[in-house]
Amino acid sequence: MKRIYLTLFLLFFSTSAFAFDVCEHEKKYSHVWYNNNCDDNLLQSTGQKSKIVKNTPWKGYPYNSDEIPNNAKPDYKILKYYLKKEIKNGKNNEGFKIKVKGTDNYKKLNFKLTSDDYVKKQLNKTALLSFLMYENGNITIDEITPKERFGKTFKNETLYVSHSVGKSLISYVTGHAICKGYISGINHKLNDWPVLENTLYYDQPIINLLNMASGDQKYVDTMSGLKNSNRWVNSVSMKSVMRKELKDSKRGKLKYNYSNLDTNIVASYVLYKMGNKEFKKLLNEILVDKVGIEHKVKAFRKNGNSVTYSYFASRYDYLRISIAILEDWNNNTCEGQYLKSLYENRVDKKRRNIGIDGYSMTKSYNGQFHTDIAGLKRPIFVMDGFGGQSHVIDFEKNKIISMLAIHRNYNWKKLVLKKLKQK
């Protein structure tokens, strides 16, 4: 028995010594350094509190995770809990450096309402919170979750999270920055921002990042985790990522690879080109002067000089943003020409197994918008976010369908696709 204990002790000691030796001799922040948990050892040895946020958003489900997992089947109690959590996040000022106040001169919406029994049924049975359909200048369907469901918590003025719908707003802001001359166009080379030097992103045209086709698939996965450290992209600055995980990185094949990193680079680059004051001014011009928001919008968390994409807005203001995009396209404004250039330069997702929602039913991606819905051969932009946030803009039919939800368990095909196919 003593011999067994001695063997186990020696094995443990040799293993620990090897890990310690690796941390002593390997280059800091290298793949090997991270893979041997040297980051944690360093923090422990210096007495620092860990700042490394892992990409584990669903750990602790059902009540202690960041989000409801995609494949979960939450009951009413769980849905209500996460609804309140998201709304509370929208009220929390931590991290949100950009707040745009609503205006008394907000864009007035016209209504020619019709009743839709299926929409009402979905609002009563699923995690759907809001359904708005806009056609030829009028809202034709306007339904919100009833009071006996989630209506005592979610109201017209409630600020609700965008999730990845915010990626599309980043693109829209980029288009405005281009039209104001801060960036030369979608082929503008990213070679004037020192942060990107010695990384795969340096000297690439910005359209590659807008299209999620920058060749970074070796370093970032589709769940937004950095592969060699598992750090969560939205919790770190671009300077930190480029100096650690992406230092001396080499671009791979320029193919579609959905992640948060490309978006955050674009957003942070626009901020760099414009400066804080002009960036905030531009966002105010877009949301107040053009979109005509009624309620406050809390936009984009900042980490130093880095920006992430998520924002909070009310249900009607989400629709107003979609209307502004629709009108830019149809009026062929400078921003409309930018949107059309995105469509002309879209990339194939190479996805052949079509799913049941706006993200997976689209075959192409253009400039932070999903497009080319299966079975529909016309330009339709889908702004899609985690949990069922979906705003669909059909430029030729002059139609918008806007939905907010707690969880993606509603029938997207019947609520959206069927209505897009109607004459």
**Gyration radius of the chain's alpha carbons:** 23
Residue 301 binned pLDDT confidence (cut-offs 50, 70, 90): confident
Neighbours of 4 (CB within 10 A): 8
**Phi, psi (degrees; rounded to nearest 5) at 313:** -150, 170
Q: For position 131, what pLDDT does the model report? A: 98
What is the Cα–Cα distance from 73 to 113, expressed in whole angstroms?
33
Q: For position 121, what pLDDT does the model report? A: 98
What is the Cα–Cα distance from 287 to 4, expressed in whole angstroms?
70
Residue 252 binned pLDDT confidence (cut-offs 50, 70, 90): very high
Above 60 in pLDDT, residue 155?
A: yes
Above 50 in pLDDT, residue 31?
A: no
What is the Cα–Cα distance from 390 to 405, expressed in whole angstroms?
9
> Are 409 and 338 spatial neighbours (Cβ–Cβ below 8 Å)?
no
Tokens 């690879």: give the residue: 257
Q: For position 50, what pLDDT does the model report? A: 39
Q: For position 13, what pLDDT does the model report? A: 35
Calculate mean pLDDT across residues 135-148: 98
* Buried b / exposed e along 67-78 (16+ C-beta atoms within 10 A): bbeeeeebeeeb
3-class secondary structure per residue, the chain: CHHHHHHHHHHHHHHHHHHHHHHHHCCCCCHHHHHCCHHHHHHHHHCCCCCCCECCCCCCCCCCCCCCCCCCCCCHHHHHHHHHHHHHHHHCCCCEEEEECCCCCCCCCCECCCCCHHHHHHHHHCCEEEEEEEECCEEEEEEECCHHHHHCCCCCCCCEECCCHHHHHHHHHHHHHHHCCCCCCCCCECCCCHHHCCCCCCCCEHHHHHCCCCCCCCCECCCCEECCCCEEHHHCCHHHHHHCCCCCCCCCCCCCCCCCHHHHHHHHHHHHHHCHHHHHHHHHHHHHHHHCCCCCEEEEEEECCEECCCEEECHHHHHHHHHHHHHHHHHCCHHHHHHHHHHHCCEECCCCCCCCCCCCCEEEEECCEEEEECCCCCCEEEEEECCCEEEEEECCCCEEEEEEECCCCCCHHHHHHHHHHCC
Residue 305 binned pLDDT confidence (cut-offs 50, 70, 90): confident
Q: Is pLDDT larger for residue 377 or for residue 221?
A: 377
Tokens 């919100």: give the residue: 144
Closest to 388 in 3D by CA, of 168, 161, 235, 224: 161
Q: Could you read off the pLDDT of 229-242 as tens digits, one per residue?
A: 888 888 889 999 99
272 torsion bin: left (phi>0), alpha (psi -120 to 50), beta (else): alpha
What is the Cα–Cα distance from 215 to 202, expressed in whole angstroms?
12
What is the Cα–Cα distance from 372 to 102, expressed in whole angstroms?
34
Distances (CA, A) of 34 to 18, 23, 38: 14, 9, 6
Give percent of the chain above pLDDT 70. 83
Which structure tokens are listed for 288?
A: 């107040």
**Phi, psi (degrees; rounded to nearest 5) at 265:** -65, -45
Q: Which residues contact 72 (CB under 8 A, 6 or more apart)?
A: 61, 62, 407
Which structure tokens are listed for 119?
A: 């929409």
Residue 27 binned pLDDT confidence (cut-offs 50, 70, 90): very low
Above 70 in pLDDT, residue 53?
A: no
Mean pLDDT of the chain: 87
What is the Cα–Cα distance from 291 to 247, expressed in whole angstroms?
40
Q: For position 55, what pLDDT does the model report? A: 67
> Are 331 and 398 spatial neighbours (Cβ–Cβ below 8 Å)?
no
Question: Up-side HSE of residue 148: CA atoms within 13 Å toward CB?
Answer: 3
Above 50 in pLDDT, residue 256?
A: yes
pTM for the model stands at 0.86
Q: Could you read off the pLDDT of 203-224 as tens digits, one per residue?
A: 999 999 999 999 999 999 876 5
Closest to 185 in 3D by CA, of 206, 204, 167, 202: 206
